[in-house]
Structure 1
């Protein structure tokens, strides 16, 4: 499975999380996907982060956090650390289900990793 296919899976998980006003740790996302290792999850989040930034959506990836800090990892570069709470609220309030779901090609086009 490509990283863009994984990104699409994670997109679905995260828009449901946004609706429920919750976040997931990297490890929880890894377990849901059945990939075992949480250290690869950032690779899959990059295309989502860049896509959201490119099209003007809130940073959906702010909902994936480190277990030890409860904050996103250093790879979240589209949101400053002092704006994390504000951005999380934007993600929670955004109507993700009103959007046409992104396609794998959308993630490929906007991925800057």
Structure 2
């Protein structure tokens, strides 16, 4: 499976989390995807982060957090203020959007 296919899977997880006003730790996402650890999350979250920025959507990746700090990683350059961004993500109607395709994530990727 390509990283963009994995990004599509994570997109689905995160929009469900937004609807439920919750977040996932990197480890929880890794477990759901069947990974041995959370070390590869940045390369999978990056295309989602850039896609949201390209389309002026709230930063959905704010809902993927470090287990210890309960905050997104510092590499998420699209965040302004985490608590405000999180509320914007919760308030946004993600299910109104057509789900992005793998190619969409590939085109948005800056990694």
Per the alignment, residue 44 of structure 2 pairs with 44
**TM-score between the two structures when normalised by the length of structure 1:** 0.96
Q: How does 1:1-113 map to 2 (within 5 A)?
A: 1-80=1-80, 83-113=81-111
What is the RMSD of the two structures over their aligned residues, measured on CA atoms? Answer: 0.6
- 1:29-52 CA distances to partner (integer Å, 9 max, x unpaired)? 000000111010111000000000
CA distance in 2, matches of 1:36, 1:18: 25
SS in 2 for 1:106: helix
* Stretches of structure 1 lacking an aligned partner (at least 5 in a row): none
CA distance in 1, matches of 2:95, 2:78: 22
CA distance in 1, matches of 2:43, 2:107: 15
Question: What's the CA shift for 1:74?
Answer: 1.3
User: Which structure: greater helix fraction?
Assistant: 1
* Stretches of structure 2 lacking an aligned partner (at least 5 in a row): none
CA distance in 1, matches of 2:41, 2:62: 13
Length, aligned pairs only: 111
